[in-house]
Chains A and B, each alone.
Chain A
Amino acid sequence: MDRKTFLGATGALIGGFTIPFNKSFAKDGSEVITIKKPPYLQKGSVVGVTAPAGFITHEEIQPAVQVMQSWGYDIVVGDTIGKKDFTYGGTDDERLSDLQKMLDDPKIAAIMCARGGYGSIRIVDRLNWTRFKQKPKWVIGFSDITVLHSHIHRNLKIASIHSKMINSFPDDWNTAQPVQIETIISIQDALTGKKMSYSASPNPRNRQGVAEGLLVGGNLKTLETLSGTVSDINTDGKILFVEDTGEYLYSIDRMFWNLKRTGKLKNLAALVVGGFRVKPDDPGEEFGKTIEEIVMEKVNGYKYPVCFDFPVGHQVNNFALKCGVKHRLTIKENEASLSEIL
């Protein structure tokens, strides 16, 4: 049975009208997706800074702290900042307890992860989400933080922000290149409730079309390692974005096969391919396919729009995206844009 079910809003009231909040094509019609958006931030809101994966020093967080203070936010620096347990920002217990405190603290309106690296997966199953669920807040980050986005989307149905983190803020705002400033400002825009709208340079390999759906995704390798687990992402009826860095082409190919063979490409509304910083093939081991070819051969049998070169990934032009929020992707010959919609 592949019944397409329109799932209407539950209580999204704007201007006295009930408007469709989101729709989803649930396979059996049983899944009702109502994604909650945490409250947007105001002047005086509190942002917590924590390191659930790799370590960071107090000194390294200063530029970001100052910028966020200039936005009018109070910053709470978590206990994991300045901690170091080999690659981690503290032991599992320390990282868990820091993130848990921030999830539970009703004064904290957003949690900005300091950096990615590796480690979120080691604590995600021990987090208690009870208070976070009662009082949602924005969780911000990317790369290894994809674990949190995917887990939160799947299990708690709360929106989150996929964006640069503390370690990507420019050391000196005045000499930073414009695109770097823009990407940091996009985090502020996302946090204050501005409707996000981005365009990408049209890639001739794009597949044209217009699609709407909840935006989900993140780091491809991280998504693959969530397959078959409680944090596994459900992509049906959604716009999926993926990015990765430092992987061989063959490995990227294998990851897209994983998406395909786990059914994640089948019922998509659209596919957005961000930056893939590829590890060069070893001599004599030339893979012989481009990212575009790797992707297009996996989605050949489907009709949804596909966008390449979207500005998300381990790169300077990595803009803030609201995961779990409804977007429209428009791909035309001379246009590639992604916009948040009601």
Chain B
Amino acid sequence: MKVTIPPYLQKGDTIGIVAPAGFMPIEKMQTCIETLDSWGYNVHMGATTHSNSENYFSGTDEERLNDLQQMLDDRNVKAILCARGGYGTSRIIDDISFKKFRKHPKWIIGFSDITVLHAHIFSRYKIASLHAPMAAAFNDGEFDNQYIHSLKDALSGIPSHYECAPHAFNKTGEAKGELVGGNLSLLAHLIGTKSDIKTKDRILFLEDVGEYLYNVDRLLLQLKRSGKFDKLAGLIIGGFTESKDTERPFGKSIYDIIYEQVGDYHFPICFGFPVSHDKENYALKIGVEFQLQVQSEKAILWE
């Protein structure tokens, strides 16, 4: 099956904003809304962005499902930006109908918990999507930084071209393949389900936040033991921020842990790529063919 790239956006197009997982107060989406507006897009706020939910979620499963479903089905909505991650996409993924979305694909934007949507959509329907900053990333004066800009460029169809500083653990080489990946915990959580991603001949990127060091080791072993690295074309390691250690120190740094698990493979590896839960988070088009060049002086990823 050939990969479908949703149409890029034109000025005047509408972007829908939903919260398919955790709750977020609408005030925190304000800068994002204004920025999208300044880029020339109309913004359509879904019901879950101004819910009166009192608990963790932005609404009940049904409310979150309906909101996302409407955005997927509404032909006027050309892209769906998820306001935040958190947790909750797994709870509704099997109830979403992708029927209309498949006929009229549109960009789905987000990361973290939204990895579930990316993985599901690409592995089942081969439709490209955007692993990119969400609403909170626009706040604190960051609405004009290069990472937010990369989202703007991606939406308007400018081919991505990213450079990244060298890292001592990098493995030089070149790779070409469709880009897949996202949050390590979520990708592992999807293994064995129908949303699981295939990695053969592809470039895989991984990031995570707030995980225990031992757990990152265990998650990588799960990827390894389920064959995800066997025929990989290239690997991109993003930020693993706010990692936690156990009372008895694990004794290795996060990149030591990762290198130990993947360093023996022959594919090129780029460490420290700006994809993370911090502001360093370039928009990455999942499912689109990329080239990765890891050289001693820098690493480049381009469409």
Residues on A lying within 8 angstroms of B by beta carbon are: 54-55, 85-87, 117-118, 121-122, 125, 224-232, 250-251, 253-255, 257-258, 261-263, 281, 285-288
Contacts and interface: CB of A to CB of B under 8 A. Distances in A.
A255 B185 CA distance: 11
B265 to A, nearest CB: 16
Contacts of A55: 248
Interface in B24-54: 54
B288 interface: no
A244 to B, nearest CB: 13
B141 interface: no
The 4 closest A-B pairs by CB, nearest first: A86-B251, A228-B226, A288-B55, A228-B191
Contacts of A225: 188, 218-219, 221-222
Contacts of A262: 191-193
Given A118-B218, A122-B221, A231-B225, A86 B249 contact: yes
B58 to A, nearest CB: 12
Given A122-B221, A257-B91, A286-B56, 12 more contacts: A85-B251, A87-B214, A121-B218, A121-B221, A122-B217, A228-B191, A228-B222, A254-B90, A257-B90, A262-B192, A281-B56, A288-B56
B196 interface: yes
A217 to B, nearest CB: 17
Question: What does DSSP make chain B's interface, helix, strand, loop or mixed?
Answer: loop
Task: Give the interface centre of B57, B94, B214, B249 by most chain A CB atoms within 10 Å.
Answer: B214
Contacts, number: 88
Interface of B: 22, 54-57, 87, 90-91, 94, 188-196, 214, 217-219, 221-222, 225-227, 246, 248-252
A86 B248 contact: yes
Contacts of B189: 224, 254-255, 257-258
A85 to B, nearest CB: 7
A323 to B, nearest CB: 20
Nearest to B248: A87
Contact of B56 (A255, A258, A261, A287): A287
Contacts of A254: 87, 90, 189
A155 to B, nearest CB: 13
A130 to B, nearest CB: 21
Given A227-B191, A257-B90, A261-B195, A285 B222 contact: no
24 contacts: A86-B252, A87-B246, A87-B250, A118-B218, A121-B221, A224-B188, A224-B189, A227-B192, A228-B192, A228-B226, A231-B225, A250-B56, A250-B87, A254-B87, A257-B90, A261-B190, A261-B192, A262-B192, A286-B54, A286-B56, A287-B56, A288-B54, A288-B55, A288-B56
A193 to B, nearest CB: 34
Contacts of A231: 225
Contacts of B227: 228
B55 A287 contact: yes
Nearest to A287: B56
Contacts of B226: 227-229
B250 A86 contact: yes
